[in-house]
Chain A
Amino acid sequence: MAVGRRDDGTGPDVLRRAGEASVLILISLASGPKHGYALIQDIKDLVGVELGPGTLYGALDRLERLGLIEPMPADDRRHPYRITAPGAAALRVHLDSVERVSAAGRLRLRLGGI
């Protein structure tokens, strides 16, 4: 099963190798723009994962370079980020891919009687 590339024409899963932090940030930004502290808090509330600030900025830079998020005008010293249209599409592709892997895994477990 090819996880990294979809065959239905929606493009490759660019988030496959981007790391968990990048995916969590995109999921958090999917509900609206946020700055660093708000992102950390939201992800902590959402999935119980506390991102380190170094990890956060590394992932933000990577996502911005990929064009999946963009910075908004600075609010005081904080720079909010928002998800871009390609970012939303990439997140959708990635989540679909994860869903397919999850379904296949559950099926195998059922077939194996585990």
Chain B
Amino acid sequence: MDDSRTARLVLAVLRCYPARWRRRHGEEAAELAALLIKDGTPAGSIACSYLAGAARAWLTPGHGRRPGAVACVLLAGVCLMGVSAGLLTSTVPARAASTSQARPRPHCQPGSPRPAAGMIPAARLPQAIIEVTGHGRSC
């Protein structure tokens, strides 16, 4: 990457900082980046470091944190979680996604092959009857 492009990249990242931070450190930060690049530090790693620093600066009280910005970040996080949860529930079977554990049916309990009292063994009944007497799901 040539000098002008790296300089542009760093300047673009520095614009991500709150205005107050830029007024205070902006020029020095750009000069420091130029010196580090001259020393052989990759421009990408400098840009990444400044980008992480900008995120921290926005979340640090006294620099640029505005209630609106924080609310936006929180809202975006909540939406993202909602979308993720929606995707998960749509891809896994309904019984796995259910948060309320269904009360175990006597004939579904692992290790108890004996049907509960009063139930007709499934093998002796047609499918339609099984659906009426059972809970309609596969055990």
Contact = CB atoms under 8 A, between A and B. Distances in A.
A33 B56 CA distance: 25
B28 A54 contact: no
Given A40-B36, A53-B36, A57-B25, A78 B31 contact: yes
A53 B46 contact: yes
Query: SS class of chain A's interface: helix, strand, loop or mixed?
Result: helix
Interface stretch (B57-65, B70-78, B82-90): B57-65
A53 B62 contact: no
A5 interface: no
Interface residues of B, number: 25
A52 interface: yes
Interface in B9-50: 21, 25, 27-29, 31-33, 35-36, 41, 45-46, 48-50
Query: SS class of chain B's interface: helix, strand, loop or mixed?
Result: helix
A61 interface: yes
Contact of A57 (B29, B41, B51): B29
Interface in A41-62: 50, 52-55, 57-58, 61-62
Interface of A: 35-37, 40, 50, 52-55, 57-58, 61-62, 65, 77-79
11 contacts: A52-B45, A52-B46, A52-B50, A53-B36, A54-B50, A57-B21, A57-B25, A58-B53, A61-B60, A77-B27, A78-B31
